[in-house]
Amino acid sequence: MPSRRADPVTVEVVELIGDVVARYHTEYEDAAASHQLTGAQARVLTLLSLEPLPMRRIAQKLRCEPSNVTGIVDRLETRGLVERRPDPADRRVKLAAPTDEGLQTAERLRESLDFAREPLAGLSDEERTALRDLLRRMLA
């Protein structure tokens, strides 16, 4: 089977995506630490700020084991940022949901992530829309 060599543009795009991901992770960890959170805690809190979720669904979204999520939610709950409540659709299931303080912390965390906002501000609306659409296609 002959090896397929990537064209130079593909190689550069892959490298640039890697640079963006690395920069995002670094800045996300720094932003989380500024709120006395680990990166994993910040990701869970941000996810829950969109909607309450059962542990299994959080684990699926984060691509990790449910037991890991339980520990993260326990620590967030101890800090008063998250609470467990029964799922109205199935009372046997517990949902993790942000408290008011958790929602405020998630919002402050989101606001402190300047790294993506600044470079994106240099793009026109059409360029940002094209970038979004291309990224969606890549992930589909």
The predicted structure's pLDDT at residue 42: 96
Helices (H), 35-65: 39-50, 55-62
How much is the pLDDT for 71? Answer: 95
Could you give the domains of the chain? 25-139 (1.10.10.10)
Distances (CA, A) of 72 to 16, 47, 75, 82: 31, 13, 5, 10
**What is the pLDDT at residue 114?**
74
Please list the pLDDT of the chain residue by residue as tens digits (140 residues).
Answer: 556 777 899 999 999 999 988 988 888 899 999 999 999 999 999 999 999 999 999 999 999 998 999 999 999 999 999 999 999 999 899 999 999 999 999 999 988 887 767 778 889 999 999 999 999 999 88
